[in-house]
Amino acid sequence: MSDNYRTTVGKVQLVSLTDGHFEPVPTDVFQDSDIETWQSEYSALMIDKDHTQFRFGSVAIYSSSKIVVVDTGAGPNGCLIDDMGAKGVEREDVDFVLITHLHADHTGWTLLEGEPTFPNARYLVPKDDYAYWTQPNVISNAPNIANDVVPLKSLGVIDLIEPKHIITSELTTVHTPGHTPGHTSLAISSNGESGFVLGDVAHSPAQAHYTDWNPNFDVDQELSRETRNQVLDELEEQGILVQAGHFPEPGFGHFSRENNRRYWQGV
């Protein structure tokens, strides 16, 4: 295993984790896009003529003697727990599990045989997402909420967090709504350096340039575009190190600009 799955932001250490991959036809996901653009401009993101690849990524963050895992992958058939083991992240040592939002590809490993997978952790869930996804007409179409999320409440391990929640002095959540109502990213600030865990503000490096391409599973399409444009502008301007869970391994990189076109510069 190469070592590019680790990086630092000031004194904070980050370990990129992967649960698996999903290989859709990109125009099924981004209905504003066309396959010719994918094939001509983003052939590097295509695994064959018709399919791109999304990673189910998580990240372990070591900050101020705490360990925070952001998102828990798609679940039981994935390799997150094995990947953590291979990279030396012990689930018993995790203090906080931050779920950026309550889609099934982010809540997969919250529980293991009915018990918290991270037995000593508080599970931090954006309260606006919990409220949205537990509505009767919504939860009936999202089985992962009843399976992976609601039990965390009965087990007493969930903290429903406000949009701006301070986890450690170096880690603060940022409300980035649109993909889901409570969607949350994470700002890292340590020793004069900055980092940002993107969550699902973007799903593909192609959105660095085509920021208006929304995945069809965004809850609020207009707000999602607005948030993506605003967040990516800021990350580009400030040259902030980004961790993007759905981008190719290891998902660390920067949004940069060349010839009036923004692109993703992965490490």
Cβ proximity to Zn ion, 105 vs 128, nearer residue: 105
Cβ proximity to Zn ion, 10 vs 24, nearer residue: 24
Cβ proximity to Zn ion, 108 vs 253, nearer residue: 108
Cβ proximity to Zn ion, 12 vs 232, nearer residue: 232
Q: Is 75 helix (H, G, I), strand (E, B) or coil?
A: coil
Q: How far apart are CA 43 and CA 41, in angstroms?
A: 6
Q: How much helix, strand and coil, in percent to the nearest 5, is found in the chain?
A: 25, 30, 40
Minimum gap (Å) between residue 214 Cβ and Zn ion: 13
Residue type, 140: S
Q: Which helix (H) or strand (E) holds 253?
A: strand 252-258
Q: How far apart are CA 122 and CA 96, in angstroms?
A: 5
> In this chain, which stretch among 156-164, 194-202, 234-242, 250-258 interacts with Zn ion, using CB under 5 A?
194-202
- Total number of residues that touch Zn ion (CB under 5 A): 2
Query: Residues 153-156: contacts with CB within 8 Å, 24+ apart?
Result: 155/115, 155/116
Cβ proximity to Zn ion, 215 vs 253, nearer residue: 215
Q: How far apart are CA 229 and CA 201, in angstroms?
A: 9
The neighbouring-strand residues paired with 264 are 255
Distant-in-sequence, close-in-space partners of 48: CB < 8 Å, separation ≥ 6: none
Minimum gap (Å) between residue 77 Cβ and Zn ion: 16
Instruction: Print the binding letters for residues 34-73 with Zn ion: x by CB under 5 A, - otherwise.
Output: ----------------------------------------
Q: Using CB under 5 A, which residues numbered 103 to 132 contact Zn ion? A: 105
What strands lie across the sheet with 193-197, from one edge to the other? Answer: 166-168, 171-175, 184-190, 193-197, 241-243, 252-258, 261-266
Nearest-Å Rg of the Cα atoms of the chain is 17
Minimum gap (Å) between residue 245 Cβ and Zn ion: 7
> In this chain, which stretch among 33-41, 100-108, 112-120, 130-138 interacts with Zn ion, using CB under 5 A?
100-108
Kindly tell me which residue out of 83, 129, 200, 218 binds Zn ion, with binding defined by CB under 5 A: 200
> In this chain, which stretch among 18-26, 76-84, 192-200, 219-227 interacts with Zn ion, using CB under 5 A?
192-200
Cβ proximity to Zn ion, 118 vs 247, nearer residue: 247
> In this chain, which stretch among 42-50, 98-106, 152-160, 190-198 interacts with Zn ion, using CB under 5 A?
98-106
Positions that interact with Zn ion (CB under 5 A) = 105, 200
